[in-house]
Amino acid sequence: MIRDKHIPIMVNEIHSFINNKKNLSILDCTFGGGGHTKKFLESGHFVTAIDQDDNSMIIARKLKKNFSNIFFYKANFRNINLLNLEIKKFNLILLDLGFSSNQLDDINIGLSFKLNSNLNMNYLGGNLNAHKIINHYDKYELQRIFDLYGEIKQAEKLAKYIVNQRSIKKINTNFELIEVLKESGVKFRSKKIHFATQAFQALRIETNKELDNLVEFLKKVHDYLDIDAYLAIISFHSLEDRIVKNFFKENKVKKNREFNNKKNWGFENLTKKPLIASKSEVLENNRARSAKLRVGRFIN
Ligand SMILES: C[S@@+](CC[C@H](N)C(=O)[O-])C[C@H]1O[C@@H](n2cnc3c(N)ncnc32)[C@H](O)[C@@H]1O
């Protein structure tokens, strides 16, 4: 069964950078439900799409029946250099990071704290999952991920409590984990968000190596950008956004066209402050509330 209920985010904002341009070659590194890709195809552009997700592959195949200008690769975008791409340089590269609504609703992945799934959270393949982390990481590793990826102030207290609880009984499901978090006595951020959000975020980032994937991809992205191409990145949490912000800063082109990174390429930062979704978009799609879009123009 194809799951396809993901609503693409900040479509107008992204298209505002390429309005009036025709026949662009676009690389959509996070195809998901294909929402962004479909809009690009409808505007007559050529899309190379990447996603690690099987469901995405099925959606892409279906899309190919109506649009011949799409090439899909099932892969982790951090490994882009291993792909035998039909098109090698792009006018726009888009990353819409994280997981899709289709994946959030998938009980086998178990990203939601509303569904009682087996502890997993892996939506990108690979061997790690939240069950292994929660039941086998030592106290210091747990503390590290809760601190770094969850920004939980009492990370040490939480790690200690989990290690103690799992020695009595393994923690197998999302609901069991939520119960442990509740009983831990740790103060989580809970204004406007579910109290388990920070811990779930930490486990998800660690399981899928989300930040590493982004960092590794950014090391390679300049090889795939045509002159004057746009790099557009939508992130959903401050850790990702910080990486993107620093990337554009470190690789900025100065006023005298000198490259900050001392290489022969750089970026003009087109979004001094990240763009956020309009109020009406957030009303229609709650997921858009935490989205931040940064765009740079490639100069070489
Ligand atoms: C927010 S969704 C993208 C939604 C898409 N823009 C749309 O309009 O339907 C993120 C997608 O990126 C994929 N993804 C995240 N990190 C990835 C990675 N490192 N490599 C490949 N795909 C990745 C996820 O599997 C997910 O399908």
129-208 is a CATH 1.10.150.170 domain? yes
Give, using CA atoms, the residue closest to atom 4 of ligand 1: 32
Report the pLDDT value the prediction gives residue 261, as an integer from 0 to 100.
Answer: 82
Report the pLDDT value the prediction gives residue 58, as an integer from 0 to 100.
Answer: 96
Question: pLDDT tens, 155-187?
Answer: 999 999 999 999 999 999 999 999 999 999 999
Report the pLDDT value the prediction gives residue 223, as an integer from 0 to 100.
Answer: 97
Residue 130's nearest CA partner among 166, 163, 174 is 174
- CB distance 213 to 77 below 8 Å: yes
Atom of ligand 1 nearest to the CA of 76: 20
Q: Is 37 in the pocket of ligand 1 (CB under 6 A)?
A: no
Report the pLDDT value the prediction gives residue 282, as an integer from 0 to 100.
Answer: 95
The size of the chain, in residues, is 300
Which numeric CATH code is attached to 11-102+211-299? 3.40.50.150
Q: What is the 3-state secondary structure (H, E, C) of 22-71?
A: CCCEEEECCCCCCHHHHHHHHCCCEEEEEECCHHHHHHHHHHHCCCCCEE
**Contacts made by residues 25-28, CB under 8 angstroms, sequence distance 24+:** 25/87, 25/89, 25/90, 25/91, 25/226, 26/90, 26/91, 26/92, 26/93, 26/94, 27/87, 27/90, 27/92, 27/93, 27/94, 27/224, 28/94, 28/96
Task: Return the best residue to mutate from 100, 217, 233, 281 for the ligand 1 pocket (most ligand atoms within 8 A of CB).
Answer: 100
For residues 262-278, one letter each, b for 16 or more C-beta atoms within 10 angstroms of the residue's C-beta and e for the rest, the string is eeeebbebebeebbbbe
Atom of ligand 1 nearest to the CA of 8: 8
Task: Return the best residue to mutate from 30, 47, 62, 233 for the ligand 1 pocket (most ligand atoms within 8 A of CB).
Answer: 30
List, by residue range, all CATH 1.10.150.170 domains of the chain.
129-208
Residues of the chain with pLDDT under 70: 1-4
Q: What is the 3-state secondary structure (H, E, C) of the chain?
A: CCCCCCCCCCHHHHHCCCCCCCCCEEEECCCCCCHHHHHHHHCCCEEEEEECCHHHHHHHHHHHCCCCCEEEEECCHHHHHHCCCCCCCEEEEEEECCCCHHHHCCCCCCCCCCCCCECCCCCCCCCCCHHHHHHHCCHHHHHHHHHHCCCCCCHHHHHHHHHHHHHHCCCCEHHHHHHHHHHCCCCCCCCCCCCCHHHHHHHHHHHHCHHHHHHHHHHHHHHHEEEEEEEEEEECCHHHHHHHHHHHHHCEECCCCCECCCCCCEEEECCCCCEECCHHHHHHCHHHHHCEEEEEEEEC
Give, using CA atoms, the residue closest to atom 24 of ligand 1: 99
List, by residue range, all CATH 3.40.50.150 domains of the chain.
11-102+211-299
Please give the distance of CA 113 from its chain centroid, rounded to a whole number.
19
Report the pLDDT value the prediction gives residue 3, as an integer from 0 to 100.
Answer: 64
Question: pLDDT tens, 127-154?
Answer: 999 999 999 999 999 999 999 999 999 9
For residue 262, the CA-to-ligand 1 centroid distance in Å is 32
Report the pLDDT value the prediction gives residue 164, as an integer from 0 to 100.
Answer: 98
